[in-house]
Amino acid sequence: MIIGIGNDLCNIDRIKGSLERFGERFEQRCFTEGEIAKARRRRLTAETYAKRFAAKEACAKALGTGVPRRGVHWKTIEVVNLPSGKPTLKLTEGAARRLAELTPDGHDIAVHLTMTDDYPWAEAQVIIEALPRVTGG
């Protein structure tokens, strides 16, 4: 069953402006060390950050909180890539607690994330799905 859906659209120029104006202070406030390292390796740094910013907003919406609320903050949501390269989200601290609150007993969670950008926009969608736990038989 779907327990949360979130979508966000982010203006890449807005992120670029924040990077130019606040630099590392903006990066450290909104992104994890892993996200910062990935963005700095990319030629299109602002686009990389904008997609991740949109993903964090979309996730907060799927959690039903927004940012910052109920312990859900920018750095408690991290965009990570599976070995296949597919993006997903790692939730920690308050975001993980909120997810646990939403998870029905006897269910496991699957977090689905898709991100895209087409200048000047970056967009992300998050679906949080509760799957009945399969027990050995």
Domain boundaries in the chain?
2-132
What is the per-residue pLDDT for 10? 98
Do 124 and 115 touch, CB atoms closer than 8 A? yes
What mean pLDDT, rounded, does the chain reach?
A: 95
Q: What is the pLDDT of residues 46-65, one digit of tens each?
A: 999 999 999 999 999 999 99
94-121 mean pLDDT: 97
DSSP 8-state symbol, 89: E
Longest Cα–Cα distance of the chain, Å, equals 58
For the domain covering 2-132, report its CATH number. 3.90.470.20
- Separation CA 57–CA 34 (nearest Å): 18
What pLDDT band is residue 67 in, cutting at 50, 70 and 90?
confident
Can you tell me the mean pLDDT for 70-97? 95
pLDDT of 83 > 70? The answer is yes
Burial zone of 85 (CB within 10 Å; 0-12 exposed, 13-18 middle, 19+ buried): exposed
**Which of residues 137 and 13 earns the better pLDDT score?**
13
Is this prediction's pTM over 0.75?
yes
> What is the DSSP-derived secondary structure letter of residue 93?
H
Percent residues over pLDDT 90 in the chain: 91
**137: confidence class by pLDDT, cuts 50, 70, 90:** low
Evaluate if residue 70 carries a pLDDT over 90.
no
For 22-46, give the DSSP string. HTHHHHHHH--HHHHHHHHHSS-HH
Average pLDDT over residues 96-116: 97
Contact by Cβ (8 Å): 3, 129: yes
Q: Is beta strand 77-81 parallel, antiparallel or unpaired with respect to 87-91?
A: antiparallel
Taking CA atoms, 47 is separated from 43, 75, 117, in Å, by: 9, 18, 7
**Is 136's pLDDT higher than 80?**
no
